[in-house]
Amino acid sequence: MNYPKGKYAWTVKIGEKGQFVIPKEARDIFGIRPGDTIIVLGDEERGLAIPPKEMMDRYISQIFGELSGEEG
């Protein structure tokens, strides 16, 4: 299947411990290396998302800002 430029889709299997492996192609494209920390976001209506690691600080700031009543 052809996807629009910059759009990707992979399938992964969930192991017995609930773990999955991020496909090598995805790790290469998004610069995910052994020892990196990623954030997994979830929305019951829209599903799971793993945003690029460069966005993690921004998301964390927004989350903590919302929790403290501030705007981020």
Considering the entire predicted model, what is its pTM? Answer: 0.67
For 27-39, the pLDDT digits (tens) are 999 899 999 888 8
Q: What is the pLDDT of residue 68?
A: 63
CA–CA separation, 2 and 67 (whole Å): 41
DSSP 20-34: -PPPHHHHHHHT--T
43 three-state secondary structure? strand
Distance of CA 65 to the CA centre of its chain: 20
Average pLDDT over residues 42-48: 90
Q: What is the pLDDT of residue 54?
A: 76
Residue corresponding to tokens 């993690």: 56
CA–CA separation, 30 and 51 (whole Å): 9
Q: What is the pLDDT of residue 71?
A: 54
68 vs 1: which has the higher pLDDT? 1
